[in-house]
Amino acid sequence: MHRSFTGKKLVVASHNQGKVREIGELLADFGVEPISAGELGLPEPVEDGDTFIANAKIKALAAAERSGEISLSDDSGFAVEALNGDPGIYSARWAGPSKDFGIAMKTIQDKLEEAGAGDNRRASFICALCLAWPDGHTESFEGRVWGDFTWPAQGEKGFGYDPVFTPEGMDRTFAQMDPAEKHTISHRADAFRQLIDACFPK
Ligand code: IMP
């Protein structure tokens, strides 16, 4: 049995206004009023878990305990099969302090060559969501979209690793799609579908 979200106020355990807005839009039909951990002045916890779900739990629990409100976090990244799932939970870090995803994407291509990965270009985006209550209860979900690492990078839309990911059965990268199209098939959409089915009964 999953625990349902009740009430209106939801703390989004992120300091990223874009993420807070996106989560508010995805949950708009449920009368949720999102407030960000940043607006509440909550500190950002150290994300030292070794899985996406572990890191999502750390962030959601920290926000729920500090704010006394139900809190939602997301933790996401890009995983390449021939690199044993790297960059994975280190996806943001591979872009370095200047957040240069051109470098991060080239690092993947270089490592695939070094590893002699040949035709194995299988990759996925992963999104973990965690809803946490002030009493310590959590509900976690993991969404995923499979496809191929595509080199050279293609497309100008989106962000992060979007230009090097072609979802299965398609011939364009995420960065060549409009956000609405990406959002019907993305890892984030998959995770939100699971969260809504389990915790936001209509
Ligand atoms: P975080 O969960 O906000 O820390 O994001 C981790 C990193 O994963 C981001 O910096 C992006 O590089 C990457 N990432 C997560 N989701 C996406 C996506 O939908 N497109 C491209 N990159 C993504």
DSSP code of residue 39:
T
171 is catalytic: no
What pLDDT, on the 0 to 100 scale, is given for residue 3? 97
What pLDDT, on the 0 to 100 scale, is given for residue 163? 98
What pLDDT, on the 0 to 100 scale, is given for residue 104? 98
What pLDDT, on the 0 to 100 scale, is given for residue 202? 73
What pLDDT, on the 0 to 100 scale, is given for residue 25? 83
Q: Which helix (H) or strand (E) holds 113?
A: helix 101-114
What pLDDT, on the 0 to 100 scale, is given for residue 151? 97
Q: What is the Cα–Cα distance from 53 to 89, expressed in whole angstroms? A: 10
What pLDDT, on the 0 to 100 scale, is given for residue 111? 98
The order of strands in the sheet holding 9-12 is 33-36, 9-12, 71-80, 122-132, 138-149, 165-167
Q: Is the CB of 159 within 6 Å of ligand 1? A: yes
Q: Is the CB of 78 within 6 Å of ligand 1? A: yes
What are the domain boundaries of the chain? 9-199
- Nearest C-alpha neighbor of 159 from the set 101, 113, 201: 101
Q: pLDDT tens digits for the chain (202 residues)?
A: 899 999 899 999 998 887 888 888 888 889 898 999 999 999 999 999 999 999 999 999 999 999 999 999 999 999 999 999 999 999 999 999 999 999 999 999 999 999 998 899 999 999 999 999 999 999 999 999 999 999 999 999 989 999 999 999 999 999 999 988 998 999 999 999 999 999 998 7
Neighbours of 154 (CB within 10 A): 16
Q: Which residue has the tokens 């839009």?
A: 25
Between CA 54 and CA 116, with CA 88 as vertex, the angle to 5 degrees is 150
What pLDDT, on the 0 to 100 scale, is given for residue 197? 96
Cβ atoms 61, 133 nearer than 8 A = no
- Choose the CATH number for 9-199 among 3.40.228.10, 3.90.950.10, 2.60.120.260, 3.40.109.10: 3.90.950.10
* The two structure tokens encoding residue 196: 């809504």
* Amino acid in the structure at residue 9: K
Distance separating the N- and C-terminal Cα atoms of the chain: 16
Q: Is the CB of 141 within 6 Å of ligand 1? A: no
* Amino acid in the structure at residue 37: A
22, 91, 183: residue to mutate for ligand 1 pocket, most atoms within 8 A of CB: 91
**Span from the CA of 182 to the centroid of ligand 1 (angstroms):** 14
What pLDDT, on the 0 to 100 scale, is given for residue 20? 86
What pLDDT, on the 0 to 100 scale, is given for residue 15? 85
- Nearest C-alpha neighbor of 130 from the set 29, 49, 201, 43: 49
- Nearest C-alpha neighbor of 173 from the set 191, 187, 155: 155
* The two structure tokens encoding residue 128: 């973990």
